A and B are shown apart, each in its own frame.
Chain A
Amino acid sequence: MSQKILIADDDRVFVELLATRLHREGFEVSVVFDSVQAMMTAMRLRPDVLLLDVKMPGGTGLDALRKLKRSWLTAAIPVIVASTLDNPELPATVQALGAAEFLHKPVPYEVVKGSLTRALGSGGRAPV
């Protein structure tokens, strides 16, 4: 069964690029464009990994990350946070909230794929 990747990002160029290329490489890719949908879809779909933007419509990705990590249903989903924000404290903040990795966008496809692959290989979720 192919692994499920959920992408939550309002940058449509980035999302189209990732979704097309990841799908071609055999992943099952779902896409949402705002923070509320990110949370709801993550709970419903329980993806193998979530790629999460920070600054999105409907609230920040950090709120979504916090809530996902607090819920027993989604706590074990590895989350990679990707943002163009230049805040130097952001990597440490997202790590403290439980993210697997932080990517500073713009970032090439191969780097994103590398992070996703690492997260998928890290054991994924704990049994529920």
Chain B
Amino acid sequence: MLNERLLEPQAPAEPALPPLRILLAEDSRLAEVYTVRLLERRGCSVVVARNGREAVAACHRQPFDLILMDVQMPEMNGIEATAAVRASEREHGRRTPILALTAGTTPEENESCRIAGMDGCLLKPVREQDLSAAFAGLAPVAADGGREESPSLDRAALMAEAGGDGELLERLVAIFREEAARLLAEIRQAAVRGDGTRLSDAAHALKGTAGHWSRGAVFRAAARLENRELGVDPEAAAADIKELQREIPRLLLALDHILS
């Protein structure tokens, strides 16, 4: 599962990746000390919550790149806390990867974790190699050392937004496909003609319609382009358009994958 905030383009002058911000929700003091040490050894910055309620509150205070959530906790368990975090995230269009920490899962517990919105599960005690695998899934490192984004969409959330109606979701994707192609063509034409107003209007429309699916690369590039002064910085506008040309097909591919 990719986290979009992790994948913001890195400034060239600052090649080192920022430390991952991790929320560890764990009620056992022993497990906490052990896991925090493991995470800090990997350069992560860790916030600890003692129960589900504290975990939800921590998520309201600051964003995290990953949440490690013990399932069995007092006051509010990990499954309830995950559901609360996901509900609040839906309002803000964010989705933080959440991994369950369990001493061993039954199929029923697995199903509950999945339905609540968890992305996977780590067995306790957490091992070094399990963390490596979890982090690799979070942010794949490209050959050049940078992080490469591929649109990560939440099928369950998109289906819920369509009211559980698969045909409506398909129709919405088909409309988006047409609109994205039309607006990209309009953006390119406007750029060629040096028509900044038309370019900004089309970029605004593309930002809006892409935002239904994700606030990923297409949304961000369109948002930047919407506010560019074409006459002042044509190179930056050209770079944004290039990114749209690359990222729109990838977003459409990810949508196709969701429908299949």
Task: Name the one of A13, A21, A55, A108 contacting B90, with C-beta atoms under 8 angstroms.
Answer: A108
Number of interface residues of B (CB under 8 A): 23
Task: Name the one of B93, B163, B172 contacting A13, with C-beta atoms under 8 angstroms.
Answer: B172
**Is there an interface contact between A105 and B168, defined as CB atoms closer than 8 Å?**
no
Does chain B have a CB within 8 A of A11? yes
Does chain A have a CB within 8 A of B127? no
Q: Which residues of A contact B93 (CB under 8 A)?
A: 106
Does chain B have a CB within 8 A of A16? yes
Looking across the interface, which residue of chain A has its beta carbon closest to that of B157? A108
Cα A84 to Cα B208 with chains together (Å): 6
Pick out which of these stretches binds chain A: B76-84, B114-122, B199-207: B199-207
Q: Which of A1-58 contact B (CB under 8 A)?
A: 10-14, 16-17, 20-21, 24, 55
**Is there an interface contact between A14 and B212, defined as CB atoms closer than 8 Å?**
yes
Cα A10 to Cα B201 with chains together (Å): 11
Looking across the interface, which residue of chain B has its beta carbon closest to that of A10? B205
**Is there an interface contact between B172 and A11, defined as CB atoms closer than 8 Å?**
no
Q: Which residues of B contact A12 (CB under 8 A)?
A: 175, 179, 209
Cα A66 to Cα B230 with chains together (Å): 31
Looking across the interface, which residue of chain B has its beta carbon closest to that of A82? B208
Q: Which of B91, B179, B201, B212 has the most CB of A within 10 A?
A: B212
Looking across the interface, which residue of chain A has its beta carbon closest to that of B207? A84
Does chain A have a CB within 8 A of B162? yes
**Is there an interface contact between B161 and A17, defined as CB atoms closer than 8 Å?**
yes
Q: Which residues of B contact A85 (CB under 8 A)?
A: 204
Q: Which residues of B contact A11 (CB under 8 A)?
A: 179, 205, 208-209
Q: Which of A10, A14, A20, A106 has the most CB of B within 10 A?
A: A106
**Is there an interface contact between A105 and B162, defined as CB atoms closer than 8 Å?**
no
Cα A47 to Cα B205 with chains together (Å): 26
Looking across the interface, which residue of chain A has its beta carbon closest to that of B201? A55
Looking across the interface, which residue of chain A has its beta carbon closest to that of B211? A106
Q: Which of B116-168 contact A (CB under 8 A)?
A: 161-163, 165, 168
Interface residues of B (CB under 8 A from A): 90-91, 93, 161-163, 165, 168, 171-172, 175-176, 179, 201, 204-205, 207-209, 211-212, 215, 223
Give me 19 A-to-B residue pairs in the complex whose CB atoms sit less than 8 angstroms apart, sorted by A's number. Answer: A11-B179, A11-B209, A12-B179, A12-B209, A13-B212, A16-B172, A17-B161, A17-B162, A17-B168, A20-B171, A84-B204, A84-B211, A85-B204, A86-B223, A106-B208, A106-B211, A108-B90, A109-B161, A109-B163
Given contacts A11-B208, A21-B162, A106-B93, 10 further A-B contacts (CB under 8 A): A12-B209, A13-B176, A13-B212, A17-B172, A17-B212, A20-B163, A21-B168, A55-B201, A106-B215, A111-B91
CB-based closest 5 A-B pairs: A106-B211, A84-B208, A11-B208, A13-B209, A12-B175
